Amino acid sequence: MVDLFDIVGIVHFGIAGNANNSMSIGDVFLNSLHAGIWDWLNPSGTVNYNDVAGLDFKGYNVPEGGDNLLGHIGFSYEFFSESGKANTARPIFWANTTRQWLHVASNLKGINLNQCVNSSVCLPQKPKLVVSLRGSASNIFVDNAAYRDFLFKTFRVSSVDMESSAVVMTSLSNGFLVIVIRGLLDIAGGQTGHNSVDTFGPLAAINACKVVIKFIEEFPKEIKS
């Protein structure tokens, strides 16, 4: 798209898991993204000294004690090419979305978001829009309470999804404005019982779309300014 079309920036939206206990299913949030490489090691391996975080799976054994075969994973920096400097990479830990677009989106906080899937299935509280929290993205569907807690405690991320960081890094590398809008559909393993992805996925997607539409309505004002 960025090669073939004359665009100003990318409005990326979708659904995500919730890793923050202060957020709720159905909420929509706009964020900066955690982008990096996880090195999965064998049980006797050691985390690289360049890694900025590590997770030792035996610390989450149930019952406690003993070793397991999952070993360790360590997180290292990702790289991307800076705009205007082809093939020049620099390390990045947080991929920040466009501040001026976040400012525009902050004016949408009073938006009316859906609370009910249908007449018989509703959330206990009214969903809200939250702007400028941290999110994370990787090719992992997170439905594990221990890993969810690890991500929040270590990186303070409030959402988990599988696509956003790729879109944001592509936008930044090519010098385009970018914003991420994600509706929260579950609590990423923090629930008791069945994951709510099938029940509240459509509601989360609709709420994200509602925010996108309102943001686009404000978009011409931002361009003119």
- The closest of 12, 15, 35, 7 to 167, measured between CA atoms, is 12
Per DSSP, 29 falls in state: E
Of the pLDDT bands very low, low, confident and very high (cuts 50, 70, 90), residue 213 is very high
pLDDT at 40: 67
pLDDT at 28: 94
Please provide residue 80's backbone torsions phi and psi, each rounded to the nearest 5 degrees. Answer: -150, 155
Per-residue pLDDT tens digits for 146-161: 888 888 988 899 999 9
Q: How many CB atoms lie within 10 A of CB 81?
A: 15
pLDDT at 195: 74
Alpha carbon separation from 155 to 58, 136, 186 (Å, rounded):
20, 9, 19
pLDDT at 43: 66
What SS3 state is found at 191?
Answer: coil
Percent pLDDT > 70 in the chain is: 80
Per-residue pLDDT tens digits for 90-115: 777 788 899 889 988 988 988 999 99
Spatial neighbors of 193 by CB under 8 A, at least 6 apart, are: none
The pairing of strands 36-41 and 94-95 is: unpaired
* Residue found by looking up tokens 């000294």 in the block: 49
Residues 60-75 have a mean pLDDT of 70
CA 197 to chain centre: 16
Percent pLDDT > 90 in the chain is: 31
In angstroms, the CA 48 to CA 39 distance is 9
Per-residue pLDDT tens digits for 189-199: 888 778 788 88
Give ranges for CATH 3.40.50.1580 in the chain: 9-34+94-224
Of the pLDDT bands very low, low, confident and very high (cuts 50, 70, 90), residue 87 is low
Per-residue pLDDT tens digits for 125-151: 999 999 988 999 887 788 888 888 888
Per-residue pLDDT tens digits for 4-53: 988 889 999 999 999 999 999 999 988 777 766 666 666 667 777 667 77
User: Peptide bond before 124: cis, by omega within 30 degrees of 0?
Assistant: no
- What does pTM read for this prediction? 0.80
In angstroms, the CA 102 to CA 109 distance is 11
Tell me the CATH number for domain 9-34+94-224.
3.40.50.1580
The pairing of strands 9-18 and 177-186 is: parallel
> Given a cut of 90, is residue 57 above it in pLDDT?
no
Percent of the chain that is helix, strand, coil (3-state, to 5): 25, 30, 45
The pairing of strands 9-18 and 94-95 is: unpaired
In angstroms, the CA 187 to CA 143 distance is 8
